[in-house]
Structure 1
Amino acid sequence: MRITATCLLAAMVALLLACVAWQPEFSWLAWPRAFSEAGAVGAIADWYAVVALFRHPLGLAIPHTAIIPRNQARIAESLGDFIEKHFLTPDLIVGRLSEHNAARALSAWLAHRENSAEIASGIVDSLPRLLERIDESDVASCFERFVLPQLARVDVSRMAGQAMQVMTEGGRHRPLLDRGLTVVERWLTANVDLIKAKFSEASRFTPAPLDAYIVNKFVEGIVALIREVAASPDHELRRQFDDAIATLSFKLQDDAGPRRFGRLLLRDCIRHFRDGAYYGVLLDRARARLVADAASETSVVHALIEDALVSLGKGVASEPSLQVKLNGWWLDIAEGLVLRYRHRLSGLIADVVKGWDAREVGAKIEAEIGRDLQFIRINGTFVGGIAGVLIHLCVLGVAR
């Protein structure tokens, strides 16, 4: 188009020269001469106007030319300010976003297992790279700032007492007690000879047969008592055991002594964890486990993430009230982000435009406008020619 417009200007000049040369012989050439003369002037004027926007005409530093490169900084500021005022407004953005049920669309998308699987694959694939960038100091900092301070405030004694209370409610501990009685019975039966040997060592002045008799009777009595307790749900020893557990649970929760001991024990455990350089061990084991799991075709982490995303999608998709809450939460976040960062975004746009090369800015804008710029030159040529003919007609009318 640029070549076309230039060739049209050359045609006007050629026509003008031809008319000047042959007009004395052919008087009617005054009309095409008027057309070509004014058309050439219009073409040159519009060429100058178009070129002056983007660069110096013919490389001459004529005042008020190369307007866009020379005013690059002002244009950049104006562009950023224009976008901030007319596009990055909370009312406009929130209004547009509120037209769409984003929560329903996202939940429906997540409900398809193929989509959730893609997200899970991306997360699992990124875990090894993420762990490679984490070193022992990062883990130590995380534990020192978030985990250990919270752990230090835990009341271990009270938690243990509450756990024991939960275990004993409704007789939940009785199967464990029965299992313990069975284990003790088996141990006594299997270690009778060891008990005899230890008893003989402690009783040096009694004959060995007497020692064996005493130990056998002792073991037989203990085993009989254990079987009696195991067979009787209402045995007195069971009630004593239950009372002892209840008392211990109460003391762990309310007695100052056990609670103080629990705090000291927890403090010693935290100090041992810090002094033992376990951060690196934890990191190495976590890294090895996750890398091995990520490389497995039946990745546990992948399955967990995938199932969680699918469940989340189905749950949100079936709850319109939850969608309303999530959309409201999302719109509040969007409004806050716009209010907080719109000035920074407009500043970023202005800085980017300022950072462009001045010639490159003009070339980019000229290329984006494209053909219309050359049509200005072409139209200017024909409009100028028509105006020249009309002026010539007016001059002839006045002369007559």
Structure 2
Amino acid sequence: MRTTATCLLAAMIGLLLICVAWQAAHPWLAWPRAFAEAGTVGAIADWYAVVALFRHPCGIPIPHTAIIPKNQQRIAESLGSFVEQNFLTPEVILGRLSGFNAAQALAGWLTVRENSAVIADVMAGSLPRLLEDIDEKDVEHLFERLVIPRLRTLDVSRTAGQLLKILTEGKRHQPLLDRGLSAAQAWLSSNVDLIKAKFSEASKYTPAPLDAYIVNKFVEGIVALIHEVVANPEHELRRQFDAAVRDLSGNLQRSPVYRRFGRLLLRDCIRHLENGRYYGVLLDHLRAHVLADLGGKDSVVRDMLAGTFVSIGHGLANEPSIQHKLNAWWLDIAGLLVRRHRHQLSALITDVVKGWDEKEVSRKLEAEIGRDLQFIRINGTFVGGTVGVLIHACVSLVWR
């Protein structure tokens, strides 16, 4: 474009020279001469204006030229101020963000297992470095400042009773009874000989065949009872087990004896932890297990983290009220950040622009907008020529 505009200027100069040379023989050349003269002036004037923005014309330090390099500092400050006042305002930022349900978008993104796995990988990848940076003193400080003071105020008995109550709601404790019964059956079946031996020691005056018969029948009866309890959800033993668990839960929560025992037990555990200096052992144990898990093909930590994020996504997607609260919370944070740090952001823009090389700034700006600026030169040539013809026509009419 620069070459085109320059060639057009040369064409105007060439036309002007031709008209000057042949006008005496051909008077009508006064019209193209007027066009060429004014076009040449317009092209030179616009060339000067365009070049003056970025450099000194022909290298001559004419006042008020090389405007952009000379005013880079002022331009940087003006640009930072312009961005701060017109873009980094709470009204603009919050106006843009308020129409977007960010919580719903985040929930939809997290529900995709691959997306949650990306976050899980990042978090899991940072764990080895985090664990390496933690030493025994850090763990001790954590326990002494945060864990142990809260443990001292913890009502272990009441907490255990509440957990037991939650466990028994909806008969969630019955599978534990089934597992216990299955374990008892397996133990009885595999230790019949031991039971016979102990029975024979306790019953010295009965024949061995009779002892074996009694023990076999006893074991068979217990196994049959276990099968009945497992097969019948309404078995009497299950109801007795439920009653015993409820009584235990109530006693743990209300009985002064149980609560005092819980406090003493917790106090002994805290003393044992403090006196044994187990902080380093705990740290080494945790570090070894986590690093071994992360180094394996199927990492439980990564899978657990990914599953947690997926669950959070599903839960958030199904709770519009929580989405509304999160969106409001994010908007409050965004408004607070804008009000607090908008000046720092504009100052960052100002400092970056000030740090640019003057010639490099001019070159980049000219490369970005230079095409349009060369159109100004081209248009100036034709506009100037047209105005020159109009002036020549007016002068001719007046003299006639």
- Name the TM-score, length of structure 1 as normaliser: 0.73
Instruction: Specify the alignment match of 1:38 in structure 2.
Output: 38
CA shift in 2, pair 1:186/1:157, >3 Å: farther
Contact 2:140 2:279 in 1 (8 A): no
Gaps of 5+ in 1: 197-211, 215-219, 234-238
Give CA-to-partner distance per residue, 1:200-243, whole Å, 9 cap, x none. Answer: xxxxxxxxxxxx979xxxxx9xxx9xx9xx99x9xxxxx9xx99
Cα distance in structure 1, aligned partners of 2:92 and 2:104: 22
**2:130 counterpart residue number:** 134
Letter of the structure 2 residue corresponding to residue 60 of structure 1: I
For residues 377 and 141 of structure 1, the distance between their equivalents in structure 2, rounded to whole angstroms, comes to 74
Structure-2 residue corresponding to 1:251: 257
Contact 2:293 2:300 in 1 (8 A): no
Q: How far is 1:117 from its partner?
A: 1.8
Write the distance in 2 (CA, Å) between the matches of 1:52 and 1:188.
107
Other-structure match for 1:372: 372
Whole-angstrom distance in 2 between the partners of 1:310 and 1:353: 43
Aligned residue for 2:25, secondary structure, equals: coil
Give, in angstroms, the shift of residue 28 of structure 1. 1.9
- Deviations for 1:230-284, whole angstroms, at most 9, x for unmatched residues? 99x9xxxxx9xx99x96997335247xx746743541441453456454244223
Aligned to 2:146: 150
Q: 2:331 is matched with which residue?
A: 331
Q: Which residue of 2 aligns with 1:208?
A: none
Q: Look up the match of 1:163.
A: 160
TM-superposed CA distance for 1:45, in Å, is: 0.7
- Which of 269, 273, 293 does residue 269 from structure 1 map onto? 273
Q: State whether residues 156 and 262 of structure 1, in contact with CA within 8 Å, keep that contact through their aligned partners in structure 2.
A: no
Are the aligned partners of 1:110 and 1:310 in contact in 2 as well (CA < 8 Å)? yes
Contact 1:157 / 1:253 at 8 angstroms: preserved in 2? no
CA contact (8 A) 1:88 1:342 kept: yes
1:91 corresponding residue in structure 2:
91
**What residue identity is the alignment partner of 1:155?**
R
Given that 1:79 and 1:350 are in contact with CA atoms closer than 8 Å, whether structure 2 keeps it comes out as yes
- Tell me the distance in 2 between the aligned counterparts of 1:350 and 1:213: 101
Separation (CA, whole Å) in 1 of partners of 2:307 and 2:283:
31
* Secondary structure of 1:347's aligned partner: helix
Map of 1:317 onto structure 2: 317
> 1:55-109 deviations in whole A, cap 9, x for unaligned?
1212222221111111111111111111111111111221222222333333344
1:107-118 residue pairs with structure 2 within 5 A?
Answer: 107-111=107-111, 116-118=112-114
Partner of residue 204, structure 1: none
- State the partner residue of 2:230: none
Q: Hey, what's the Cα distance between the residues in 2 that align with 1:262 and 1:187?
A: 41
Q: Structure 1 residues 339 and 137, CA, compared in 2 at 3 Å: closer, same or farther?
A: same
Measure, in 1, the Cα distance between the counterparts of 2:341 and 2:192: 72
Which residue of structure 2 aligns with residue 283 of structure 1? 287
Q: Secondary structure, in 3 states, of the residue corresponding to 1:64?
A: coil
Partner of 2:382: 382
1:138 positional shift: 2.6
2 CA distance for matches of 1:277 and 1:110?
36
Identical-residue share of aligned pairs (%): 49
Alignment of 1:1-400 (within 5 A): 1-111=1-111, 116-127=112-123, 129-138=125-134, 140=136, 143-144=139-140, 146-153=142-149, 154-155=151-152, 158-160=155-157, 162-163=159-160, 250-251=256-257, 253-254=259-260, 259=263, 262-263=266-267, 265-273=269-277, 276=280, 278-292=282-296, 295-296=297-298, 299-400=299-400
CA contact (8 A) 2:102 2:327 kept: yes
Name the amino acid aligned to 1:39. G
Deviation at 1:33, TM superposition (A): 1.5
> How far apart, CA to CA, are the structure 2 residues paired with 1:77 and 1:20?
51
Q: Tell me how large the CA RMSD over aligned residues is.
A: 4.4
Query: Structure 1 residues 304, 135: closer, same or farther in 2, change over 3 A?
Result: closer
Aligned residues: 358
Q: For residues 321 and 366 of structure 1, do their structure 2 counterparts lie closer, same or farther at Cα, with a shift above 3 Å needed? A: same
Distance 1:213 1:321, change over 3 A: closer
Structure 1 pair 118–141 and aligned structure 2 pair: CA distance change class (3 A): farther
